[in-house]
Amino acid sequence: MAGSVPAAEPVIDVRGITKNFGETTALKHVSLTVARGEIVVLLGLSGSGKSTLLRHLDGLDRPDSGTVTVLGTAVSSLRGRPLRALRGQVGFVFQQFELVGSLTVLENVLTGALFRVRGPRLGLWGYRRDLKQAARGHLDRVGLLAQAYQRADTLSGGQQQRVGIARALMQNPRILLADEPVASLDPESSAQVMALIREIAIDSGLTVVCSLHQVDLALSWGDRIVGLRHGEVVLDTATQGLSKQNVMEIYGRVTTSTGELDAIETELGTVEPGEPDEQGELDLATFSSARDNRR
């Protein structure tokens, strides 16, 4: 069991982990410390190692070398019951929600309490009354109490992700991990879900590590951005007080090539496609206004 962590001690402490999947290296000497209550964004393109890093924090993957310490416990050496006890304290929100579609919303939320009960559960009657009450409370928190007895697959994507959040809350977690929580959602639901996660995190003093691939969303949402590229940490900065020059640097660091920057320019509509342009000479004023328009 993880003991109580003094405020000064980091809740997440990753030291020099490397992870290979066959020939490909997913993480290369990655280190990361997260203090209690921090809201951290892992920023990077797909394949940069964000998901793998998150999976390491929950003990779903084991590093080839290096150590992962979460809530004062060395995750990489845990197995069986102690590992499950740690996972119980860490909520995980998935890109594809990962609900059981044929079960009701309430049953899906209750699966978040499985580590607190002994043995398997089938249907609603297997859970204690107080757990069901708590689950309804969490559903109310995410605004879906009216849908409690609907099948999960009858909900929209944004609603399903909110159920996913309620399921994570059901664990009474101390840390919330989110792997691209809005990558499968439309812009409006994305904004709702991201706002909800931040609101809950601040209300309950949760430590949050959330992976994203949208720079602008990361900048406006997180307290701190950790950039990953090809499995290496290339950036670690607080989002407050960033100058426009810094923002451009972030784009430069997390993207792979100048080609990607050109793509951003084209998307922003500031540069005619095909017009020769040097890296970094993007019109920042236009970028900012475009960013504001999107809000």
Partner 1 sequence: MTLTLERPRADQAHAVTPAPQPRARPEKIAAGLTLVALVTASVLSLISVDISLPQIAASWSNATRFFDRVGVISFPAPGELLYLTALTVGLVLLGTLFAAFFSVPLAWLAATNTAPSRGWMAFARFLGVLIRAVPDVVLAMVFVLMFSLGTLPGILAIGIHSIGMISKMFADAIEQIDEGPRLAIRAAGGTPVQEFFSGVLPQVLPSWVATVLHRNDINLRGSVILGYVGVAGLGLEMSYAFKSLNYSLGLGIALVIFALCVVMEIVSSAVRTVMLGLAPTRQGIGDRLLRRLGVTGLKADASHRPWTYARLRNAVWGLLFVLIVIGSVWICEIKWGDFLTVWSYLPETAAKFWPPSFGSYDASVMLAAMGETIAIALAATILTIVASIVIGSLAARNVAPSKRVRAGFRLVLVTIRGIPEIILAIVLIVVTGLGTQAGTIALAIGGIGLLGKLLADSLEEVRSGPEQALAAVGATRLQVYAGATAPQGMKALIGHSFYMLDTNIRAATILGLVGGGGVGYYLLNAGQGSRYDLVTTIVLMILVTVVAVEGLAMWMRRVFR
- The footprint of partner 1 (CB under 8 A) covers 45-46, 58, 60, 84-92, 94, 96-104, 106, 111-112, 114-115, 119-122, 124, 136, 139, 145-146, 148-149, 151, 153-154, 164, 167-168, 170-171, 187, 190, 213-217, 251, 254-255, 259-260, 263-264, 267-268, 291, 294
Nearer to partner 1, 103 or 235 (CB): 103
∠ CA(43), CA(45), CA(46), 5° rounding? 120
Q: Which two tokens stand for residue 109?
A: 């939320």
∠ CA(64), CA(65), CA(69), 5° rounding? 110
Nearer to partner 1, 6 or 276 (CB): 276
Residue with tokens 């890296």: 279
Q: Which two tokens stand for residue 295?
A: 């809000």
Nearer to partner 1, 36 or 229 (CB): 229
Nearer to partner 1, 8 or 216 (CB): 216
- Angle of helix 157-170 relative to helix 129-141, nearest 10 degrees, comes to 130
**12 vs 180: CA distance, rounded Å:** 19
We find the least distance from the C-beta atom of residue 219 to partner 1, in angstroms, to be 11
**96 vs 99: CA distance, rounded Å:** 8
We find the least distance from the C-beta atom of residue 200 to partner 1, in angstroms, to be 17
Nearer to partner 1, 6 or 230 (CB): 230
DSSP 3-state of 233: strand
We find the least distance from the C-beta atom of residue 193 to partner 1, in angstroms, to be 13
If you ran DSSP here, which 8-state letter would residue 126 be given? G
Pair type for strands 65-70 and 39-43: unpaired
We find the least distance from the C-beta atom of residue 214 to partner 1, in angstroms, to be 5
Q: Which two tokens stand for residue 7?
A: 């405020």
We find the least distance from the C-beta atom of residue 238 to partner 1, in angstroms, to be 21
We find the least distance from the C-beta atom of residue 195 to partner 1, in angstroms, to be 14
Nearer to partner 1, 16 or 126 (CB): 126
